[in-house]
Structure 1
């Protein structure tokens, strides 16, 4: 390996194409496995297309332009984002259709979008759920001779944003119609805030209400486009939303858009569990998503018997939905993985730059060993990194994947 390559690999997680994870890359590192990643992109695109819907993956999960490009090339209708700044970043990397599944609030944020709307090829839609926001947006964009596409967000009591009743939705549509600077292009909801023992029936009921509202708005000529957008779906319940939209003929009357995001990398935690539930509900789906995302780190210290400190912490990996899961162990510079079952070890706590790990009986670690860790909730792992390593089956780096958080 050239000295130039080794020097280039010194920055956190960066490996030039040709570098190998166990020999050349400075750890800890964010690692994406090509085979699983490509499978997940194909799998979700096929699922959504076969459901008669369009896919607008939620880009805030990764904020990785090379993943946006792969998703769009595979057939995605657009990219979903959460903020004006994220939208500007995606636009700078070639994304020309954005569904911002959030409210556009504040004049500086409005100005960012107004600047992008100077490009007639840029198709942008954001959410509204309150008359105050409707009035502010209408005044801002009308003053600039622009017309902003907005969609009404419909929510649930105790959830996140969104009108809390069908009556509020219908009243907000009238307020939008009064604004020359706004065009109502659809209706949106998010089912991921519905929990409890009756979550499945609650989500189906919510989807039915969403479609019913869309029909009412369409029948009253509230929409500014012939085929309005109806959209919902996070990364856990997308199958129920797709089935509900299809059952109520939303696909025929509207442009149905699903927007899961975490599927692209999947995980070893909450979304792995959610995927098992999807497969239980859908016997026709014989294979699901595959975990593509890991974080690799060194064993840093072995200060006590049965206890290891890993050079991995809160600044490197998500910990909000479960602690990192040890997967495989490698001797530094050596392939393949060592046979000891490091998955029997347990991470018990994480600090800023350290993880505490209980070492399972029979596992013989040494300082400098490399361990791959699975994660739960990929959104809050991606956002800790400027660069990730896309690797092949031999753990050679194929591409350095830059993020733009």
Structure 2
């Protein structure tokens, strides 16, 4: 924290990372230059345990999507709680996770480009259990040739897409053609089917997601019956953070429990949020009235009120470089007065973010708002992924805002 560097003949403190404490032990309000991103430990651990229990109750494995946080300390907490592996999106993410001790990665993306193949091959050669998805004959052939040259076997899953969606085979004929192409590559092992339901829309989204889950199950059963799968318990996997209950419902049957490896892979659940997924959680509870407990928001960003330039307006000293702002602007939650502590927080009502710039957040406040320059505002997010990638370090804090640990990211 106090390392120095020599600058034109005199020692100066080494610059801090954004959001890093000035001292240890530290309190978020007293010892951290703001803005800073904080993860509350109690809801974090609650969410990790809650989703693990949910997956196990439905006879499924859990492979949390790590691209949400890219925080290997978080990955290890999830693995220690019982997660089957970590889901990732890129070769670089895969290499970073493996370098920090993750032993099983499900990369729900196509592995394209020689340099990316090199990263993955090196990790496999070093002991990583790795899976990726394929949806084209061209990619299958490129992977087959590369991994044959490296004398390695690559586990692949066929990606099952939707019309107008992202990647993935659109129909059964494409799936069968791809399975045949994979069978012609000795370095590839077809081990299951993968999909993503998050982009499904329409007049009846629930029915459409349920139908897609059934389609995934039917497809993996078809592949198993045809004898093309090279795994005793083939993988069938889907589930983002919005519809995980419906995918679990599709996977939860006796045949899949006995003969397959169903894998759920939500990611945002680990810190949840204050709007987008909070609303999705309410919908899940309405669909599943017997569900015990719920996910809790754990991620907040803290910043000072820096200006009160006119009535009804507060300018807070953070912006697009510090907090996600899609699909919703940051959500004002609490105010801490100048030199206050956790016990002095007041809940905010009638405060609304309406504009965000690189380093400034514009908040509409009530005319009688009790606020002063220097106060600290805690802000929630809607969709947490786009906040994590703005920080090299996030602070793990307790309810008193004491800093318990620094969580590093590897973006």
The interval holding the TM-score normalised by the smaller chain is: over 0.9
Question: 1:52 maps to which residue?
Answer: 59
Structure 1 distance, partners of 2:237, 2:178, is 18
Q: Deviations over 1:346-369 (max 9, x none)?
A: 110100111011111321211111
1:314 is the counterpart of 2:320: yes
Name the residue aligned to 2:10.
Answer: none
Residue among 381, 390, 393 paired with 1:375: 381
Q: Give the CA deviation at 1:339.
A: 6.0
Q: Which residue of 2 aligns with 1:87?
A: 94
**Among 124, 141, 161, which residue is 1:135 paired with?**
141
Instruction: Give RMSD over aligned pairs.
Output: 1.6
Q: CA deviation at 1:251?
A: 2.4
Q: Does 1:263 align with 2:269?
A: yes
2:230 counterpart (209, 224, 240): 224
Contact 1:269–1:321 under 8 Å retained in 2: no
**C-alpha contact (below 8 Å) 2:17/2:393 kept by paired residues:** no
Matched, 1:399 2:383: no
Aligned partner (choices 28, 38, 43) of residue 36 of structure 1: 43
CA distance, structure 1, for counterparts of residue 406 and residue 15 of structure 2: 10
Alpha-carbon offset, residue 247 of structure 1: 3.9
Distance in 2 (alpha carbons) for counterparts of 1:332 and 1:287:
36
TM-score normalised to structure 1 length: 0.96
Deviation of residue 220 (structure 1)? 1.1
The 3 A distance-change label for structure 1 pair 214 and 340 is closer
In 2, are the aligned partners of 1:53 and 1:242 still within 8 Å (CA)? Answer: yes
Residue aligning to 1:159: 165
Distance in 2 separating the partners of 1:210 and 1:184: 15
**Of 25, 30, 55, the match for 1:23:** 30
- 1:62-141 paired onto structure 2 within 5 Å: 62-119=69-126, 121-141=127-147
Q: Check conservation: 2:161, 2:195, Cα contact below 8 A.
A: yes
Counterpart residue number, 1:254: 260
Distance 1:143 1:11 in 2: 43
| Partner in structure 1 of residue 177 of structure 2 | 171
Question: Cα–Cα, structure 1 residues 323 and 360, in superposed 2: closer, same or farther, change >3 Å?
Answer: same
Aligned-pair distance for 1:250? 2.2
1:60–1:82 CA contact under 8 A, matched in 2:
yes
What is the rounded CA distance, in whole Å, between the counterparts of 2:311 and 2:124 in structure 1? 61
Are the structure 2 counterparts of residues 364 and 8 from structure 1 closer, same or farther at C-alpha, using a change threshold of 3 Å? farther
Q: CA deviation at 1:180?
A: 1.1
Match status 1:283 vs 2:297: no
Change in CA separation of 1:196 and 1:361 when aligned onto 2, cut-off 3 Å: farther
CA distance in 2, matches of 1:48, 1:343: 36
Q: Is the 8 A contact 2:335 2:377 kept in 1?
A: yes
Could you say which residue in structure 1 is the equivalent of 2:337?
Answer: 331
Q: CA deviation at 1:338?
A: 4.4
2:249 to 243, 253, 256: 243
Once the two structures are TM-superposed, the CA of residue 43 in structure 1 deviates from its matched residue by 0.3
Structure 2 runs not aligned, ≥5 long: 4-12
SS of the residue corresponding to residue 398 of structure 1 reads: strand
Determine if contact 2:324/2:381 at 8 Å carries over to the other structure: yes
TM-score by length of 2: 0.95
Residues 217 and 251 in structure 2, CA contact (< 8 A), matched pair in contact too: yes
Cα displacement (A) at 1:343: 3.5
**Residue 8 (structure 1) shift:** 8.7
Divergent runs of 4+, >3 A: 7-11, 336-341
Gaps of at least 5 residues in structure 1 are: none
Residues 17 and 399, structure 1, Cα contact 8 Å, conserved in 2 = no
**Residue 253 of structure 1, CA deviation:** 2.0
* Equivalent-residue separation in structure 1 for 2:345 and 2:231 (angstroms): 60
**SS at structure 2 position matched to 1:192:** coil
Matched, 1:389 2:411: no
1:367-392: per-residue Cα shift (whole Å, max 9, x none)?
Answer: 11100000011110101100000001
Shift of 1:221: 1.0
Partners in 2 of 1:319 and 1:136 — Cα distance? 38
